[in-house]
Structure 1
């Protein structure tokens, strides 16, 4: 039996799923005479982009023994050609923005993954699920939308779901093969709900749907018992428009602002005015009662303070008094940018960077790194200096008995991107944590991502700043994240654990490898390579840490393979140390218990002594500075050399340029 300490920062973050969700399991019961087959299938994944869901399915389907290839959805003719080359038993569409060509779905089984329960249809399924979590506290833009009024009778159900259905001429209208319910997590953003609950439910439902495939038939195998019915059927739901999420600071309370922004995060963002400019808002965080009280008397829409990447904005008063919210990320409105003389396309950036001059003139409201967590804060929210319950990107806490203490450091950077400012803050936090009397330091990363490495949006932004360049900004960024890795590698007086509660990619993977132990749950997907970003060489001391874990030959193969890796597979290969827990909710309490056990282990002193001896021997053999120098020499060629591949790939990535072809490491049918 695992013990969860009452002060564990990971405890009680997510409510348990309602008991009735078990009845809506996607595990199907296929009748004995139904004709279904369990043999490995040829599967073609057709997707608009190789996003988190598509990657997770790629990992899960291959682990199940299926032969999997990927085709990015570019045009009907290209899709038809891919199907002819791959000759799949089943085409699965996890993420599409267009219909599957009729010539394809009429000839073979095509399964569409829809992020809504059976009966739900339309392009904004998750948006509506979050917008309807509860009735608006005041009459706001969504409540007044004439084509989709909200009211108490349309409050969100306790559960939502993912449906795997057969493609037809109409969107989301085909035969249901399987579906999986999940609880709508309170206060989740659309992107976070997608990355966790939707991806997990979709994986289960897809694997269940494949149990119903029959050779030579477009129809699924019959079920011994019918699929469970959803709690309610929503029917067709229209696109959520800009007007439905337009924030009026004078009318929208903090609760409404948070709900509108979260329903549009990560795309397209909620529309608003900020410092006189039309913008899209992302990464909205609740202000404490103390922070809201300090905003009393300020005009609605005014900007009051800054913290980390965020600006504090005044909004309408609510039942509890003055309203205010922190806005962490913004993007200048595309339509406004197009109408202006600017030739620079809008980028999603930290609010303090997008409005750098204005932010510099604002007071900074810092909070202590070690402060009372929001979940445990008093209703009054403490005071500004103490920061009880206050939001910030970084948070540190401790638990455990004396001489078996665990330090828990969260660094929840938006989308896992680590810019220069974020890296400097993390280095400071790690140095501060060195002074604490703990035996284990857990590097908990963020809830959605552990880390995805350097901040490509900030680098792209630097190209438009006078006196700067993307190449110079890239070098500064990689030096900054190398400093973080160095702090972890040289933390030799205690044991360190990198805890992957969410996915990790590129430099974020190798940042985790700087720790003594790397633990993850089964839902985590890693991308331990750099080459997809224009043949980037990479740094973060990977040439030291990766071969130590899996050997030089395996390290070369991993870096060249450029494929996503599931946590279980990574553990089997020795890339990470352990994989436990089906998802983040199951992982966090087990993680806390395992960290406590490590801190209190009788052989802890011997482990630390062995770690120190190994680090000293490695340093004598070849200093860490030499690994860093060699890696940065290669990176300088990427940044400043004659080959522009990195700069082109980065530009296409941050501006979401449509794909012109599918990379051959994904499209095995085209090799």
Structure 2
């Protein structure tokens, strides 16, 4: 197949756009990113670029007429819906209606949104219980990549997209309205599963607006529980979540955003932080690993089990963000697990991201954000230290994508196993940070000094396959989360005697603790300047991230040489 010059037009360089960028490069094409900012500027960039094809993996804005009307260069929208589906709330409705199958469709851009002829489509089973972000980053993302591959192949072959014929029996999709809060509303007297489904369908954005503790809040991160009480009453607190009674049982709510006053902006935070003043008389339930390691509670942000010689510690923090307190809880859990009579310590993530490092929303909400950031980075360093100094052979299972300190946390293990198709972002500079989490020790140990500097300076995503080739990852397991979990435990049990890891086991006995400590100290000296003294505008970058400020333009690192040359030629 001939190489194409492809523009990825996107509202953000999000996980799907990163996967598309990596996929197209791997296939021998030359993708260049254009982030949608000003309409005129976007049109100018694309019209000047001489691109063969424009693909929109994640676009909230309407494609300008000037772009979609150019017959010589197709503009293809990746829509998270089956053939015939239209509207911005496709996944919200699919989860709400508990549909058994859903899909992704690649559509030619036309005047009306999602109404163009079809280039490709891919359907999948839709299990119950998935939250929107989990669905989007999993099955939707996988189907979208298959559609993008097909679009590129068909573009090379001169394919003409096929208009949707709603009279055909197999065309089940229809135009659906944008889901409003009235469509999401529930009563605390409703059953727990209905309430959880409503919150799941709004996960990420926009959340479900509900009354709680005398105020109005957008709710996120719901988990079922069997306890019961007066509907709407907060029954308990555990870690960062609050337990709210429903019509039959109860649900844990992990994150909240207060409804803003006119002209005000608010953002998501752990529920216990948001409701701090209202929780004084609410009982706290403690089932930490150290106090109650093998409990059967349904909601466990940190959990532990043993299988043969393997102690498996799972942590699942919403959106992969790790606050100071969460890191401290994880340190306590690791210290307990390290004292067990096991030979392998397997640490893995949950259903979402593996880890994205420090908790920027908690930092932004602090009275002095720089000091909270400083406490947070030292706490996550403590997590990494526990992994680096463990007696057991430590294996990290990258169950989801990871960024910045989350990547380095994974690399603190002796062996790294990754789920297929995850994306890693092993860099800090885009947030105005030097970086910590022992990265100057762990990353060169994995890939060499020169490559470590290249990865942290270029600030580009790395696919699981690339990570394997570079030495960041030792093996790649199944893409299916459940299959990966089983595979991971099996490989962890076999790693002790696997000849492939003999050198790693031997290296573990020669760990240079003095070098580790030197790297940590040197990193923290730099991070103090970045976080507390704000030498590279970390405070502003953190605020922009938390309040989801639109970027001013496309970072030059994402612009391909051919697109940059076209701009300069004008």
TM-score under structure 2 length normalisation: 0.93
How many residue pairs are counted as aligned between the two chains?
Answer: 558
- Residue number among 347, 355, 358 corresponding to 1:443 in the alignment: 347
Distance (Å, rounded) in 1 between the aligned partners of 2:140 and 2:288 = 34
**Could you tell me which residue of structure 1 aligns to residue 282 of structure 2?**
362
Q: Deviations over 1:509-528 (max 9, x none)?
A: 00001000111122100000
2:262 pairs with 315, 334, 338, which one? 338
The aligned residue for residue 73 of structure 1 is 36
SS in 2 for 1:212: helix
Separation of aligned partners in 1, 2:26 and 2:293: 50
In 2 relative to 1, CA 280–602 (structure 1 residues): closer, same or farther, beyond 3 Å?
same
Task: Indicate how the Cα distance of structure 1 residues 106 and 285 shifts in structure 2: closer, same or farther if over 3 A, else same.
Answer: same
- 1:329-408 to 2 correspondence within 5 Å? 329-334=255-260, 337-338=261-262, 345-367=265-287, 369=289, 387-400=295-308, 405-408=309-312
1:126 pairs with 2:30: no
1:35-78 CA-to-partner distances (Å, cap 9, x unmatched) read: xxx21111100001111111111111111111011011112211
Whether the aligned pair in 2 keeps the contact of 1:451 and 1:509 (CA below 8 Å) is yes
Cα deviation for residue 170 of structure 1 reads 1.0
Match of 1:324 among 238, 250, 265: 250
* Cα deviation, residue 199, structure 1: 0.6
How far 1:398 moved relative to its partner? 1.4
**What's the offset of the Cα at 1:253?**
1.5
Q: Which residue of 1 aligns with 2:509?
A: 613
1:472 to 333, 356, 371: 371
Using CA pairs under 8 Å that are at least 6 residues apart, name the structure with larger relative contact order, 1 or 2.
Answer: 1
What does residue 434 of structure 1 align with? Answer: 338
Give the Cα separation in 2 of the matches to 1:79 and 1:457. Answer: 30
CA contact (8 A) 1:368 1:386 kept: no
Cα separation, 2, equivalents of 1:79 and 1:367: 52
Is residue 2:422 matched to residue 1:524? yes
Maintained 8 Å contact 1:370/1:395? no
- Flag the 1:75–1:366 CA change in 2: closer, same or farther, 3 A: same
CA distance in 2, matches of 1:247, 1:171: 30
Deviation at 1:360, TM superposition (A): 4.1
In structure 2, relative to structure 1, the CA distance for the partners of 1:120 and 1:221 (3 Å cut) is: closer
> Where do 1:260-271 residues align within 5 Å?
260-271=198-209
Structure 2 counterparts to residues 593-604 of structure 1, below 5 A: 593-599=490-496, 601=498
CA apart distance, 1:390? 2.0
Distance 1:585 1:315 in 2: 30
Tell me whether 1:312 sits opposite 2:243 in the alignment. yes
Residue 247 of structure 1 pairs with residue 186 of structure 2: yes
Distance 1:369 1:385 in 2: 4
Q: Offset at 1:242?
A: 0.9
| 1:503 equivalent in structure 2 | 401
Is the CA contact 1:213–1:220 (under 8 Å) kept in the aligned structure 2?
Answer: no
Q: Kindly tell me: are residues 628 and 50 of structure 1, through their superposed partners in 2, closer, same or farther at Cα, counting changes over 3 Å?
A: same
| Deviation sequence 1:83-120 (CA, Å, 0-9, x none) | 13322111000111121111111211111000011111
Distance 1:70 1:603 in 2: 39
Give distance in 2, aligned partners of 1:83 and 1:232.
Answer: 33
Q: Distance in 1 between matches of 2:170 and 2:224?
A: 30
The answer on 1:484 being equivalent to 2:389 is no
Aligned partner (choices 649, 658, 663) of residue 541 of structure 2: 649
Residues in 1 aligned to 2:543 and 2:169: alpha-carbon distance in whole angstroms? 43
3-state SS of 1:313 partner = strand
1:544 to 430, 441, 451: 441
Q: Show the 5 A alignment for 1:162-173.
A: 162-173=104-115
Partner residue in 2 for 1:562 = 459
Deviation string 1:192-243 (CA, Å, 9 cap, x unpaired) is 100111111100111012111147x683599xxx9xx996613001011011
RMSD of aligned alpha carbons:
2.3
Equivalent-residue separation in structure 2 for 1:240 and 1:221 (angstroms) = 28
Aligned match of 1:92 in 55, 72, 87?
55
SS of residue paired to 2:509: helix
Cα gap change, 1:386 to 1:513, in 2 (>3 Å): closer
Q: Give yes or no for contact 2:53–2:75 (8 Å, CA) kept in 1.
A: yes
Q: Corresponding residue for 1:587?
A: 484
Residue 338 of structure 1, CA deviation: 2.4
Pairing 1:64–2:6 present? no
1:82 equivalent to 2:54? Answer no
1:24-45 per-position Cα deviation (integer Å, ceiling 9, x unaligned): xxxxxxxxxxxxxx21111100
CA distance in 1, matches of 2:546, 2:154: 39
> How far has the Cα of 1:385 moved from its partner?
11
Q: 1:347 to 1:498 in 2, by over 3 A?
A: same
Equivalent of residue 232 in structure 2, options 295, 298, 301? 301
Deviations 1:474-533 (A, max 9, x none): 100100000000000000x22111111100001000000100011112210000000111
SS in 2 for 1:450: coil
Cα drift, residue 471 of structure 1: 0.8
> Matched residues in 1 for 2:77 and 2:553: separation?
22
Equivalent residue in structure 1 for 2:68, among 87, 105, 118? 105
5 Å-filtered alignment, 1:26-45, equals 38-45=1-8
